[in-house]
Amino acid sequence: MTDRLSDAQSGLRLWGLGTVRTIRPLWALLELEIPFTHEEILTRTPSMETDVYRNVSPRQKIPMFDDGELRIGESAAICLYLADRYRDSVTLTPNAGSAARAIHDELCWFAMTEMDSVLYTIRRHEGLPLVYGESKVAVDSARDYFIRSSGEIERRLSDGRKYLVDSAFSVADILVKSCLDWASIYKIELPEASQAYAHRLSERPAFQEAMKQNFTPKAMAALAGDPKS
């Protein structure tokens, strides 16, 4: 494990790298420009089995985030917590109780239930057949389902907007962008507006830094030929 930001004063720690899901909270932290420690835990490696990590994450999943006594292990929940807790630094969510926030949160749950979970079906039954069993039927169905789901994102982008909600970059963009990138790993062709949207977000400095920190040479060597969810 490496303390990537040794001068971290806040006590915030993010555990995990090398997956589509770990890049989400990492990207959010970098957008917020708050100090944190990055523990470089790779999925399906002995580092997941240490007593230290078992204590932090009994589920032995990544990402994992801790802020003192608070521990959160779902990528979307981590991002939303950070956005609300540190909104005085940078605003990554609309105001609570607003119409824009309702639309934002709907998109967040849509990304997790209708995009991420569908892609994970491909991950299980195409990428990890020895663990979950190979199923071409399940994979083909998931691909078709994701294409239908991506049509909803395309519809929302059809008016030429830069971001998904309220003309401002938000957690919803982080979650949706990560799913679009994940789909590209599985060679799922995205609609035109979604491709352009994903490309625009790729130009954000925080995203580019998150990519460097999440997909390190060590991580890429360990995960070569095996895109992680």
DSSP string, 25-63: HHHHHHHHT---EEEEEETTSGGGGSHHHHHH-TT--S-
Q: What's the average model confidence in pLDDT over 198-217?
A: 96
Q: And the tokens for 11?
A: 């006590």
Q: How far apart are CA 173 and CA 211, in angstroms?
A: 16
Cα–Cα dist 90/87, whole Å:
5
- Kindly list the distances between the CA atom of residue 144 and the CA atoms of 99, 148, 190, in Å, as whole numbers in the listed order: 31, 6, 12
Domains of the chain by start residue, with CATH: 12-91+207-222 (3.40.30.10), 99-204 (1.20.1050.10)
Identify the H or E element spanning 14.
Answer: strand 12-17
> Which tokens sit at 197?
């949207």
Cα(212)–Cα(203) distance, integer angstroms: 13
Strands of 64-67's sheet, edge to edge? 37-42, 12-17, 64-67, 70-72
- Residue 5 has what pLDDT? 34
Residue 94: the pLDDT is 96
pLDDT in tens, 106-158: 999 999 999 999 999 998 898 878 878 989 999 999 999 999 999 999 999 99
**What is the phi/psi pair of residue 73, to 5°?**
-120, 15
Q: What is the pLDDT of residue 189?
A: 93
Digit-coded pLDDT (tens) for 57-87: 888 899 999 998 899 999 999 999 999 999 9
Which pLDDT band holds residue 3 (cuts at 50, 70, 90)?
very low
- The torsion angle over the Cα atoms of residues 93, 96, 99 and 101, rounded to 10 degrees, is 30
Q: Could you report how far apart the first and last alpha carbons of the chain are, in Å?
A: 20
CA dist 229 and 218 (Å) reads: 17
Note the pTM of the prediction, 2 decimals: 0.90
Span 163-181, average pLDDT: 97
At 169, is the secondary structure helix, strand, or coil?
A: coil
**Helix 75-85 / helix 171-185 crossing angle, nearest 10 deg:** 150
Task: Identify the band that residue 7 occupies on the pLDDT scale cut at 50, 70 and 90.
Answer: very low
Distance CA 51, CA 48 (A): 9
At residue 45 the predicted structure's pLDDT band, cuts being 50, 70 and 90, is confident
Q: What pLDDT, on a 0 to 100 scale, did the predictor assign at position 6?
A: 37
Give the chain's mean pLDDT.
Answer: 90
What are the tens digits of pLDDT across the range 173-188?
Answer: 999 999 999 999 999 9
Residue type, position 4, single letter: R
Residue 223's pLDDT band (cuts 50, 70, 90): low
pLDDT band at 224 (very low <50, low <70, confident <90, very high): low
